[in-house]
Structure 1
Amino acid sequence: MTAAHVAVSIESEATARSGGGHVAAGWLVEPTRVVVPDPPPGLLDGSLDVSVVLAGADEGPVERIPSTGVNALRLAGAEFAVLDLASASRHAPNAVMPEPVALEAAIAAHGGDVRAAFEAAGSVVPVPPGSKACAKHNIVNCARCS
């Protein structure tokens, strides 16, 4: 499956059972990590229980993976979330986690808009199959480790 065709939906466990669980969109940056640029209320403080739904453009299976942890990140006055998933997705990542310094500069340049900063930093791109995050910084194609 190509990375550019993966839809990532963050869904509230409380409302998902009634069919209306979508609370935010995100990007799969690793098989077990999702970035949520616009976290909904309750996500950063852990009071919102979520799962991540991943679906490809083809007719393949839709995955629903529970989140096992929320990492709140604050850069240049903006807040966003990185979710840890209970299991690895079978889908290829559809974004790359940029270097923190580059991401902070992009967020500042875009007035705190994390989504625009990721897109401007070139982070929302197909990740080549077989790409791995460096063990030290957890970043795909880490400039410090290459």
Structure 2
Amino acid sequence: MAPVPVDARSSHNVIALATAPWTSKALLAAIEWGVFTELSRREGTVADLCGRMDIEDGNVPEFLDILVALGLLDRTDGVYRNAAPADAYLNPHEHGADITPYLSFLNAGRDGWSRLTDGRAAGGPRSAGASSSAAFGEAIAAFERFTGLPGSPEDMDAGGKH
């Protein structure tokens, strides 16, 4: 991975790195809840989307506005629709360009990353535990769906035997 350029005159890039998990989680939650899928079918208001996604509207307006601020949704007179990047890459009807399975794969590994420093803080090695094992299985399934390749180590030929 290439290093992120840092402008020494501004703390913006450092702050953006520190808050990246929040923006990432907003994107990944929207994928998990089916926001982009619903909006690829038709635009809608908060009430309409909540009904179609079968969720309470509690903080949905604020959540959708976060997606607007991130450039993933557009809102006009209270009606939401996918913005161009979401329509191009987060739309399950665009089979060749839809990256939601890959993003789901990345999301499945977030639990382990969120505990990255746990072992260090406890003074010992970090144990992955059963929940990350399940997340790994989900990540492999997402990998298989996204790539069409087998994801289990038994199915892969990494050593050139076949």
Where is the helix percentage greater, Structure 1 or Structure 2? 2
Q: Using structure 1 for the length normalisation, give the TM-score.
A: 0.28
Task: Find the structure with the greater CA-based Rg.
Answer: 2
Q: Using structure 2 for the length normalisation, give the TM-score.
A: 0.26
